[in-house]
Amino acid sequence: MKLTFLGTGTSFGVPVVGCRCAVCRSGDPRDKRTRVGVVVEVGQTRLLIDTPPELRLQLIATGIEDVDAVLFTHDHADHTHGLDDIRAISVRREGAMPVYGPPETLEALRLKFPYIFDERVRAQPGTYKPEGTMIPLAPGVTTRIGDADVTPFEVPHGAWRVFGYRIGGLGYITDAKTIPDAAFAQLQGVEVLVINALFRTPHPTHLSLGEAVAAARRVGARQTWLTHLTHDNLHAALAAELPSDIQPAFDGLAVEW
């Protein structure tokens, strides 16, 4: 398997507009964080999880030219508003791009991007539009997508429901406030865990750094990568502080196992 981090920042991104803190002024490229998204490769299948606003630039930066399907975790803007950028991929496909996720997320996307999912909307001659077809998922039900077995599970994000994903030896969680026991059960035996860690202090809708580390210890993956990071920590300082098996991810990081 291969995991490529397209973006690892919080909804503000890093640097934050108008901020002059040390992290936002850092010259370390690992401190430049676009909004969260990853690509997971299993065999010959390549899955995109979420479509952040910088998707086009992220795909170019990582050299990823094609994906076989899109998985969504939830409907928030920092995870969905780059959806139009699948146009460059869908125009080269035979048929629409399969788009998977929670039913309520897919319905919200249908309302926000009707031209992508309505077959009656045709591109004008000489122009192109992104094309997608929706496939709702249910927690705990495994779906085969190409070479990948994908199992969604629920995690709470304040008042919202987010899907985490178990894909082979990968456990992927973003925007969780807590990890329910049912989610921990799905994560047993993963080799690589990705989990969100926002501030050092408690937050109403996200895991804190300490909470994320505690959850990672309970899962017991060989490698844990923290994502959805703010400008509270310099990457190098945070990496030095954390244990070697729990580390901050950064944009462009590729992990293979």
CA–CA separation, 169 and 190 (whole Å): 4
Average pLDDT, whole number, for the chain?
A: 95
Outline where DSSP puts E strands in 111-191: 132-136, 143-145, 148-157, 160-167, 170-172
**Residue 115 three-state SS:** helix
Predicted local distance difference test score (pLDDT) of residue 118: 76
Domain ranges of the chain: 2-256
Strand partners, 14: 33
More confident residue, 203 or 83: 83
DSSP string, 233-245: S-HHHHHHHS-TT
Residue 253 has pLDDT above 90, yes or no: yes
With DSSP H G I counted as helix, E B as strand and the rest as coil, what are the percentages for the chain, rounded to 5? 25, 30, 45
Give the tens place of pLDDT for each residue, 115-157: 988 777 777 777 677 889 999 999 999 999 999 999 999 999 9
The answer to whether the beta carbons of residues 57 and 85 sit under 8 Å apart is no
* Exposed e or buried b per residue across 133-147, where buried means at least 16 C-beta atoms within 10 angstroms of its C-beta: ebeebebeeeeebee
Instruction: State the CB neighbour count (10 A cutoff) for residue 61.
Output: 14
What value does the mean pLDDT take over residues 223-251?
Answer: 97
For the chain, the first-to-last Cα distance in angstroms comes to 6
Predicted local distance difference test score (pLDDT) of residue 30: 98
Predicted local distance difference test score (pLDDT) of residue 22: 97
Domain boundaries 2-256, corresponding CATH code: 3.60.15.10
Nearest C-alpha neighbor of 154 from the set 44, 74, 96, 242: 74
